[in-house]
Amino acid sequence: MSTFMGGGNVHANGIRQHYLRYGGTQHAGKPALILIPGITSPAVTWGFVAETLGEQFDTYVLDARGRGLSSTGPDLDYSVDTCADDISAFAEAMGIASYHLVGHSMGARFAVRTSVRNAKCLKSLVLIDPPVSGPGRREYPSKLPWYVDSIRQSQTGMNADEMRAFCPTWTEEQLQLRAEWLHTCYEPAIVRAFNDFHDVDFHRDLPHLPVPALLIVAGRGGVILPEDEAEIRQLQPKILIARVENAGHMIPWDNLPGFFAAFGDFLGASLI
């Protein structure tokens, strides 16, 4: 049985924030879970993950500004700080009293920044393969044209077969969903986020995390290497690290059981 409750919009941090909800009030009394997807992943593309999360938590998947059905356009600020503040503002606007914050890639970087800017009601952090590039560091493995070319193609019309050139290992259903929704990713927002992978120091906040944190690493993603794990542990000795083998950067797409297993009992409930 599906745990999907429906979608909605809320005005928070000065913009319309669109979300999808799974699980709902059946989990009253437990912390909620807020999920922030990556750079070109509207909320709907994480539905297959949220279905399982909704079995244990009242789960909200957000469209980051400039993506999906949230506010977009040239008048908005797409900086890390503003996008991070969107998350805490969303939780406050929705009256969420306590929540786990889960972020993938770009979403993980926003989650870390949120935690040090406004930890009110935040219970824990799960960081899924965040880019560890930054000033003076090696570049993020993916290149900007991969994002821009696929977005521009999607704006003129795109099907699953055409999307396969960009995501060759994905299933037909996953490809079709991405082809359907990628056009909602506003190119300047994506360019800003990609550039911030290199211009904003992700590591600066790690020593100051105010809540327990779990880092989930893709076994063959190339984003986080063993030496990166060692540095992260040095900066935040209390962080837990789980590696998902047989998975690239888009971990749930490659190894969904391994992805859920990586959480263990960190959130207080098993996902498998």
The answer to the question of residue 22 being in a domain is yes
Residue at 21 is within a domain: yes
- Output the pLDDT for position 222: 92
The pLDDT tens digits for 89-119 are 999 999 999 999 999 999 999 999 999 999 9
> How far apart, in whole angstroms, are the C-alpha atoms of residue 24 and residue 57?
8
Answer yes or no: is 157 within a domain.
no
Long-range contact pairs involving 174-181 (C-beta distance under 8 Å, separation at least 24): 174/45, 174/253, 177/44, 177/45, 178/45, 179/154, 181/42, 181/44, 181/45, 181/68
Closest CA to 20 of 28, 29, 10: 10
Contact between 108 and 206 under an 8 Å Cβ cutoff? The reply is no
Q: Is residue 116 in some structural domain? A: yes
Residue 174, C-beta contacts closer than 8 angstroms, at least 6 positions apart:
45, 167, 253
Q: What integer pLDDT is reported at residue 163 of this predicted model?
A: 96
131, part of any domain: yes
Within a domain: 272: no
Does any domain span residue 11? Answer: yes
Q: Tell me the pairing of strands 15-22 and 59-62.
A: antiparallel
- CA 183, 24, 15: angle at the middle one, nearest 5? 40
Asked if the structure places residue 123 within a domain, the reply is yes
Report the domain count for the chain.
1
Burial class (CB in 10 A: 0-12, 13-18, 19+), 75: exposed
- Residue-wise pLDDT for 32-66, tens only, equals 999 999 999 999 999 999 999 999 999 999 999 99
CATH, residue 51 = 3.40.50.1820
Predicted pLDDT of residue 206 = 98
Instruction: Look over the chain and give the mean of its residue pLDDT values, rounded to a whole number.
Output: 97
Q: Residue 221's pLDDT is what?
A: 79
Task: Please enumerate in sequence order all residues whose Cβ is within 8 A of that of 38, keeping only pairs 6 or more positions apart, or say none.
Answer: 104, 105, 106, 107, 250
The whole model's pTM is what? 0.98
pLDDT band at 81 (very low <50, low <70, confident <90, very high): very high
* Domain residue limits at 64: 4-136+200-262
